[in-house]
A and B are shown apart, each in its own frame.
Chain A
C-alpha cells in the first residue's frame, strides 16, 4: 500500500497535558482523510506537528515512505505539505497575490514581478475552480473567499498534501457546498487531503477514510463506506449520542424582548436592519435563520449595545434599552454568546478564570471596594469549568491555550451562569463536537424551561429547526416570515432565506 504521509505513534505533550498520545495516521494518495475527535482531543495539535509548528516528543513521520524531520513550516512546504488554518493568516490591506507570494516573492532584476505572480495565481485559481480574483484586496472579500486564498497559497507553493483545519466552521451552507466541490477537483488533480471537521455529514459525504481520536489517543481508522453517522459519533465520544434533542412543547409567557421598527446601519452607514419587528417571550426559543450578511450581526450588536441604532425601539421587560451601553444592557439582564469568540468573547491573554468574570469582575463577591478577590474568581471558574466540561489543564491556563471548542464552552458557561432573562446565542455551536453540541442544545432548552427567553442566531438549519420553538427568517434586514419548526423544512427555509415569498408565510410577521 502506498501512503503519501504516515504519522506513526506520535506523542506531543504540553505542560500538564498529553495532547497526542501514541497516535497513528496514514494518508493514502488521492484520498480525503477525515480526522475526527472531540474538542480538545488533539487534532489541531497533531496537524501542527505535521506542519512543523510543534516538535513531537516521540514518533516518526514519513513522507512517501521516507522518514523526515519536520522542524519548521518551511520544511513542510518543501515536502509538499500545505495547511489551511482555522484562523486565517492573511494581511488585510494586501491583495490576494501579494498575500500568496509573501515570503517567496518572484523577482525580475531584483524587483518583485507582481504581474507574473498574478498570472500564475489566476491560472491556479482557474484550474481548480476557486474563482478568486488575484488582484482583489483581502479586506474587500468575504470569509469564504479568504479561505480560498489560503488554499491558493498552499497550491502556489506546490503542496500535494493539503491539511484543512475545520474549514467549514466559518462558512455558510452555500460556501460549504462550493468548498466540497473544490476539494473534489483537488483530488481529481492527484492531491491528497486531511480534513478536520466536526460535521459528521460532511465526512460521510466527501471522505474516504476517517481516523478517530479520543482524549489524545488514536481510537482507529475506519472506511467511511462501512460506517454511519451514529457509529462515528459514538466512536469519537465513547458513548451513544442523541442527535435530535428531546424537548417538551414550549410554554411561552410574557414578552421579554419586543423590537419595533428597528433601523440599524453598518459602519459604512448603509441600513442593514430595516424597520424590523420581533418579539421573544419568556419560555421560548426564537431562532433567526438567514444567509450571512442579511443584518443578523447588526441586529445582535444593536440589542447588546455594541452598535448604535438609528430609530425604532428595543424593549426588554417593558424598559427601552435602545442605545444603552453594553454594561447597562448586561446589567438589565441580557446574556450574549458572541459570534466571533476570539474577537469579542475572550481576552485570550487572560487566564480562563479571569475570562469567566469578564462582565462581573466589579461585582461582589469577585471584588470588594475595587479590590479583586482572586479566590472567589477562581472558585467560580472551577465551578463553571466542571459544570460545562471545559477541558483545560487548569483555571489558570491562558484562554489562548484552549482548543477552539473548549474556549466556546467557557464562554457559554459564563453567559448561562448569570441566568439572564434574555440569552442571545449567535452561532453558539460553531466549531463544537457533536457531544458538546448536544450538551449546549440541552442547556439552551433548559434555560427556556426555566422561563428564560432565548434568541438563537444560526446559519445551521439543522440547529434552527431542532432547537427553536419559532423560526424567524431574516432577509435583507427584515423578518419576512415566522414559522413553526414542525411545519417547515430545510427546503422551504432555504427558499425564504433567499428572499422568495412562500404563500401564506409572509403574513405571519405582523402579529402573533
Chain B
C-alpha cells in the first residue's frame, strides 16, 4: 500500500493540474476565446520578461508561507482557517515596528520580522487555547479571529498609526526587505528578499515535522489523542503549540507584504485572501513542505499571469480563478482519480 500511496500523492496533484488546465481551455473555447492565445498570454504574464518574473516571485512569497501555515496545522490534525487573520496581524506588527523603532538594520529588520511572527503566533494561540481547554472547534474560532483581526487592524491604522488616513507612512529603510539589487535585476519589480525567508521557512517546517521530537508529538496528537495521552504527551500543550507555530508562519506572510512588497499597511476593505489561498496551496501540496513550495509556485504563476490575459487575449482574469477552483476540485475529488488510476493499473496487469 505504502509505495502506491506515495505514487498517488505525487500523481494526483499533477493530474489535477493538467485536468484543470484542460478544463480551462475547454471553457475558453466555448466562450469564444482562443485557448492557445489565452495560455500564451498567461505564460507571458508570468514569465514574459524579467519584470514579470520578479513580480511572480513576489506573489509566490506570501502564498508559500500561508500554505505552510495551513499545512502545518493540518499535519497535526487541526484546520487553521485563521491564516487570513494571522497574516493581517503579522502585517500590522511588522509595519508598526518598522515605523516606530529606530535602530540599525541588523537589529531593526529581525525585530520587525519577529514582531510579525509573534503577532501571528498570538492569533493562533487563542483558538489553540480555546480548543485545548474548552474543546471549542478551531474552525469557528479562527473564522471569528479573522474578522477581529480585519476590523481592529483597520481601526489601529486609522486612529493609532495615522490620523484618520488610509495608508501609513513607509517603514524605515532599516526594516525593509526590499532590495535594490533584485529590483535592478528585474526592471524595478517589487521582488524582495522575502522569498529566501519563505524557502527557509519551508525547510523549517519540514525539519520540525520530520526530524524533531516536537514534530513526533504534534503528529501523534493529531492522529490519536488517547494514545498520545497514554504515551505521556501533553495533549493540550501540543494543540496550542501547533496553532502557535501555524500562526507564526502566517504572520510571517504578513511581514512579506508589510516589509517587502508594500512597505506600508493600508486600511483593507476586505480580506487579503492570502490566508484562504493558503488552504488551497496546502491542499494541492499534500500538506508537505516541498509540495507546498511547488503548489505556491503554481498558484503564484497562475495569479500573476492572469493579469496579462485580458490585454493579451481578451480573456477575463476570472478565468484563472475558475482554473484554480477546478484544480482544487480535482484534488479534493482525488478519490475519483485514485479509482481511475487503480482501474488502469489492474487492466495493465
Q: Could you tell me which A residues sit within 8 Å of B by CB distance?
A: 14-15, 304, 306, 325-331, 336, 338, 343-350, 354, 358-359, 361-362, 367, 370-372, 396-398, 401
Contact = CB atoms under 8 A, between A and B. Distances in A.
A59 B217 CA distance: 44
Interface stretch (B46-54, B117-125, B208-216): B208-216
Q: Which 6 A-B pairs have the closest CB atoms?
A: A327-B232, A358-B231, A344-B230, A326-B232, A349-B223, A343-B226
A336 B230 contact: yes
Contacts of A14: 1
A383 to B, nearest CB: 20
A359 B212 CA distance: 15
Nearest to A358: B231
Interface of B: 1-4, 211-214, 216-217, 219-220, 223-224, 226-234
Contacts of B217: 361
B212 A371 contact: yes
Contacts of A397: 2
Given A354-B216, A372-B211, A372-B216, A347 B224 contact: yes
A83 to B, nearest CB: 21
B286 to A, nearest CB: 15
Nearest to B346: A55
A344 B223 CA distance: 12
Contacts of A359: 231-232
A362 B234 CA distance: 13
B230 A326 contact: yes
B230 to A, nearest CB: 4
Contacts of A362: 213
B227 A345 contact: yes
B9 to A, nearest CB: 14
A330 B231 CA distance: 8
Q: Is the interface of B mostly helix, strand, loop or mixed?
A: helix
Contacts of A15: 1-4
Nearest to B228: A347
Contacts of A330: 232
A372 B231 CA distance: 17
B227 A343 contact: yes
B227 A401 contact: no
A359 B233 CA distance: 8
Contacts of B234: 325
A345 B226 CA distance: 9
B347 to A, nearest CB: 13
Contacts of A371: 211-213
B227 A372 contact: no
Nearest to A394: B2
A361 B216 contact: yes
Contacts of A401: 1
Contacts of B1: 14-15, 398, 401
A336 B219 CA distance: 22
A343 B224 CA distance: 8
Nearest to A344: B230
Contact of A338 (B3, B228, B230, B232): B230
A347 B220 contact: yes
Contacts of B214: 370
Given A15-B3, A347-B223, 18 more contacts: A14-B1, A15-B4, A304-B230, A325-B234, A326-B230, A326-B232, A327-B232, A330-B232, A344-B226, A346-B224, A348-B223, A349-B224, A358-B230, A359-B231, A371-B212, A371-B213, A372-B213, A398-B1
Contacts of B228: 347
15 contacts: A325-B234, A326-B231, A326-B232, A327-B232, A329-B232, A343-B227, A346-B227, A347-B223, A348-B223, A350-B223, A372-B212, A396-B2, A397-B2, A398-B1, A401-B1
B293 to A, nearest CB: 23
A349 B3 CA distance: 15
Contacts of B224: 343, 346-349
A218 B220 CA distance: 38
Contacts of B227: 343-347, 358
Nearest to A325: B232
A380 to B, nearest CB: 14
Contacts of A361: 213, 216-217
Contacts of B3: 15
- Residue of B227, B228, B233 ringed by the most chain A CB atoms within 10 A: B227
A494 to B, nearest CB: 31
B220 A398 contact: no
- Residue of A336, A344, A359, A397 ringed by the most chain B CB atoms within 10 A: A344
A54 to B, nearest CB: 12
Contacts of A350: 219-220, 223
A408 B213 CA distance: 25
A306 B211 CA distance: 28
Contacts of A331: 232
Given A347-B224, A397-B2, A401-B1, A306 B216 contact: no
A14 B4 CA distance: 11
Contacts of A370: 212-214
Contacts of B212: 370-372
Nearest to B212: A370
Contacts of A396: 2
Nearest to A328: B232
Contact of B213 (A338, A343, A344, A367): A367
